[in-house]
A and B are shown apart, each in its own frame.
Chain A
Amino acid sequence: MDIRKPVATIYGYFQDKFSPTWNEQILKLRESYGEAIELVVMPMESNIDMPTLTVKKEKIHEFLSDLKNNYQYSFLTDFTATDEKDDEEFEKTNHRFQLVFHLFNTETKARIRVKVKLSENESIATFIDLWIGANWAEREIFDMFGIQFEGHPDLRRILMDMRWEGHPLRKDYPLRGYQIFLTPEPLDPELLK
């Protein structure tokens, strides 16, 4: 058996099936957005992956609503962030954080990944108007990385204690940076109203 030969998994099947439509869609997107799409990374042949598009921050809302409404990528599978502080490019470009969207096409079952680069202390407008489910994802990103989302209705910590200082998934947060609280987390008085 040749191990380099693609194995007919369900994903591999989708990969071969989607490659032409992905190419078509990305060409179309590049025509309409031009310079706003900074980078396109296609999955390698017979590799289980999806295309990754890096889009400029100014155009990201327009781009995502286009993907949602005109390309049927209507389901937000995952919305998270990464800290690229140790990356070589960080010193050149000063783009510390990346927001990562994983989108799912509910009609053709294809997936796509969209990234936005943010520098430190830079905020971005909320995505709740596109996907209501982005609400808690944005709270988690704020909790773990300290990225501010403008226009979010309720941007407070979701996982960590509300008395916690710092944002634990940042690269400069110490791995064993314990913060001990002797009493349970006090209830937010706002919630009782």
Chain B
Amino acid sequence: MAKDGELDFFTTRFEDVINFARKNSLFPLPFGTSCCGIELMSTLASGYDMARFGAEVVRFSPRQSDLLIVAGIVNLKMAPVLRNIYDQMADPKWVISMGACASSGGIFNVYSVTQGIDTVIPVDVYVPGCPPAPEGLLNALLRLEDRISKGDTHSLRRERALKHAHSGDAK
């Protein structure tokens, strides 16, 4: 109700309200395996304060989180573990690949390191840098929030891809 007593309301879609809520209450799961994890901690701490963007409740259980931040090297031995954690997270879920090692293997092009986590799980936003500055991660978070507000989730994307594949079959 407005100050002059008039009824004040606006109409919107239910989906938009849901997306607004999702984008402003992300629960990150930190998968910090090396030095990027330190930058991630710095981003979460009071200096840069990721809480300003609604992503301060760090959860260490995949069941309780919806944003996986992979910060650091993922070895071949660790790759199935990462896949397990991703599968355990409930949909809707998003993934940020933080740093050169997580995005591409970085300088470690050897027998023991995965060449980018996108060989194992789908990734929404990549953050370049070795390690990236906290501003980089915050920028990635804002970009991800933009995409969430448009209703972009992994399951929706999967559905779209399936639809596309079926329409391709019909031709």
Contacts and interface: CB of A to CB of B under 8 A. Distances in A.
Interface in B84-128: 84, 109-112
B77 interface: yes
Interface in A141-193: 160-161, 168, 173-185
Contacts of B84: 184
A175 B111 contact: yes
B45 interface: no
A179 B110 CA distance: 11
Contact of B77 (A161, A173, A174, A176): A161
B156 interface: no
Given A168-B112, A174-B111, A176-B111, A183 B76 contact: no
A104 B79 CA distance: 39
Contacts of A184: 80-81, 84
B63 to A, nearest CB: 18
A126 to B, nearest CB: 26
Contact of A178 (B76, B80, B81): B76
A185 B76 contact: no
B50 to A, nearest CB: 30
B87 to A, nearest CB: 12
Contacts of A177: 111
B110 A181 contact: no
A176 B110 contact: yes
Contact of B111 (A173, A182, A183): A173
Interface in A9-44: none
A168 B111 contact: yes
A178 B77 CA distance: 11
A140 to B, nearest CB: 14
A160 B77 contact: yes
Contacts of A176: 109-111
Nearest to B81: A184
Given A174-B111, A185-B77, 9 more contacts: A160-B77, A160-B112, A168-B112, A175-B109, A175-B111, A179-B111, A180-B79, A182-B80, A183-B80
12 contacts: A175-B110, A176-B110, A178-B76, A179-B76, A179-B111, A181-B77, A181-B80, A182-B80, A183-B80, A184-B80, A184-B81, A184-B84
The 4 nearest A-B residue pairs measured at CB:
A184-B80, A177-B111, A168-B111, A161-B77
